[in-house]
Amino acid sequence: MTSSSSISAVASVAAAVHEQDMDAVLRRRAAATPDEVAMRFLRNGEDDVVDLTYRQLDQRAARLARQLRQQLAPGARVLLVLEPGLNYVTALFAIFKSGATAVPSFPPVGSRAVGRFAGICHDCQAQLVIAEGSLRTSVDRLNAALSAAGNAPGWLFIDSDYFEAQDGQPVPEIAYDKARQAGDFPALLQYTSGSTGNPKGVMLSAANLISNSRVLDIRMGTAQKHVGFTWLPPYHDMGLMGALLLSVYSGFMLVMMTPAHFVQRPLRWLKGLSTYQVTSSVGPNFALDLCVDTITEEEIDGLDLSNLKLLFCGAEPVRQGTLDRFAEKFGRAGFSSTAYVPCYGLAEATLFISGKADREALPHRLFLDQQSLANGLIRPARLDAAATAIISCGTVATDHVMAIVDPETLEALPPGVVGEIWFKGASVAQGYLNQVQASDDVFHAFIAGDPTDGPYLRTGDLGFMMDDELYITGRIKDVIIFAGRNLYPQDIEAVAQACHPAIRTNGVAAFAITRDDKEHLVVVAEILRSAKLNAEDLENVEDAIAAAITLSHGVAPHTVHLAPVSTIPLTTSGKVRRSACRDAFEAGALALAKPRPAPAAANDSTILLPQE
């Protein structure tokens, strides 16, 4: 059973961009509105502001593109590891202009990041790395890591004033020859975050980037001139495709700050929304929790969030409790729950697959019978039965098609039945770099019995359709099968998270292990550094987690493992890597939380603590 979006693109026809690649979009913007601010960067996360107009962005990118063209053949892979900011955006568009392939990557700072960087560099056979000038002193160490991985690219170091220093130089003419503009190579390689396995290089064409920007532009609407705000990492799909490229495509100013400035002080994000009268922003679930937990009532008095009309929530499961808490706390600052846009996407679809369609409505949600959901059926919860709240991720992207399919039989399923989410359309990527079999398995699926119904992208995610809207229930690889029931780890993690204040936000992982041919549930929970729990307190936390999960899901955990902060493996975008956590648990490599002296004033095992 397939479903296509009911949203009409008529409202966006007048503003549609017809260029075939993102550089052409930028050139059109630079010609039509040269002095409009394209990007505004908050260098300190607050009041140290620097702007970049469309003309400046186009000209600075052109100068670097000339240099890249002299060094690189069309399609050469250029690893982009600059810190978030205006230089990052400029270098990205320079790569587009040059006809090379951009490969965004996490900056190689720290042993884990260096290992990932070396793996990506080797996998894509990067010919050039564009990096911060501050990494010059680390180049020998990084080259050693790259040599060990079998690759030795060149380096181009970009200092903070690299582009400003060239502003007086002539702007080169660039011949946009067909070989570079529409060659048989990706415009961009987006490496997946690796939440369920090793990262893969998703090959995105210029047409993929345009398609994703178009469907997002339609979803946002063009009735008003938007102002965007992002602190998301630009080397991940949501920050790159859902913020940077979208803003250039749609022609609205994007205010930017670094992820570090947000995490250090979440109030900066909401202050930015208030100061610049932002209409559209992105906030994953954990970010909303962080704002609620750290921003004081007095600080709310200085905020005005009434202009925020679109707050896209994605990248991780969206929880109703989080949305309710955020709206309750910041409602007096003018925030409206109608601004929430729960959405679903993944790198293999460039980004956007579905999202809330009605910009004036509250997100739809269902309260489902937990036992029926465990058996793959969708039934409303009874008053006397355990319920699971699931938020709609809206309707499918315009001109794209979604199907819910039995992952074993490959048969299409009707509305109200849980199956694997399949997706097809112009935003679907070209496949995985260097992985022919995986590409065929994931990107070339057909509905059983109909060889013409495809090819589809197999997302690996589970969900169901109801009234043409998508509801996500989990990932196939993460589902825990217990006594014939499907248990979704994110639901178990949410219960554990809420049962005791000493557990870190986003610091729980649930997974299954096999012992004596039986599946057993393991829950790993990180304890806040500020908790200072003694041995008895830690036992009480274990008991609280076990009791809460048993009560809510009817399954007693085989093991509750309490760990210090930063024990649970995460992707670079902050998602829990359950499979990696399970492997570490099986290997006995997960650290244990150590008892610490309880505060002298604390006589109760339940200690109210601020969340980190």
Q: For 456-479, what is each residue's pLDDT tens digit?
A: 999 999 999 999 999 998 877 777
Amino acid at site 395: T
pLDDT one-digit tens code per residue, 246-266: 999 999 999 999 999 998 999
Residue 133's CB is within 10 A of a number of other CB atoms, namely 14
CATH of residue 257's domain is: 3.40.50.12780
Assess if residue 146 is contained within a domain: yes
d(CA 193, CA 274): 31
Indicate the residue among 235, 264, 293 that finishes a domain: 264
pLDDT, residue 285, reads 83
Among 550, 552, 548, which Cα is nearest to 540's?
548
The larger pLDDT score, comparing residue 178 to residue 311, is at 311
Say if residue 520's pLDDT is above 70. Answer: yes
- Whole-model pTM: value is 0.80
pLDDT, residue 35, reads 96
Indicate the residue among 233, 264, 295 that finishes a domain: 264
Assess if residue 290 is contained within a domain: no
Assess if residue 387 is contained within a domain: no
Assess if residue 246 is contained within a domain: yes
Assess if residue 254 is contained within a domain: yes
Assess if residue 195 is contained within a domain: yes
Domain that holds residue 126: 16-264
Share the mean pLDDT of the chain: 86
The answer to whether 126 touches 81, Cβ cutoff 8 Å, is no
List, in sequence order, every residue forming a beta bridge with 519; answer none if it has no partner: 514
pLDDT, residue 448, reads 94
Say if residue 7's pLDDT is above 50. Answer: no
pLDDT, residue 523, reads 95
List the helix and strand counts (H, then E) for the chain: 19, 27
d(CA 209, CA 429): 9
Percent of the chain with pLDDT over 70: 88
pLDDT band at 603 (very low <50, low <70, confident <90, very high): very low
Assess if residue 77 is contained within a domain: yes
What Cα–Cα distance (Å) separates residue 31 from each residue in 36, 87, 255, 382, 411?
11, 21, 22, 60, 50
Indicate the residue among 232, 248, 264 that finishes a domain: 264
Say if residue 293's pLDDT is above 50. Answer: yes
CATH of residue 538's domain is: 3.30.300.30
Task: Tell me which residue has tokens 């009817």.
Answer: 554
Q: How many domains would you assign to the chain?
A: 2
Assess if residue 493 is contained within a domain: yes
d(CA 31, CA 168): 19
pLDDT, mean of residues 336-349: 94
Say if residue 369's pLDDT is above 90. Answer: no
Say if residue 602's pLDDT is above 60. Answer: no
Q: Which residues contact 234 (CB under 8 A, 6 or more apart)?
A: 84, 88, 89, 92, 104, 240, 243, 244
Say if residue 10's pLDDT is above 50. Answer: no
pLDDT, residue 14, reads 33
pLDDT band at 436 (very low <50, low <70, confident <90, very high): very high
pLDDT one-digit tens code per residue, 21-52: 999 999 999 999 999 999 999 999 999 999 99
The larger pLDDT score, comparing residue 558 to residue 373, is at 558
Percent of the chain with pLDDT over 90: 57
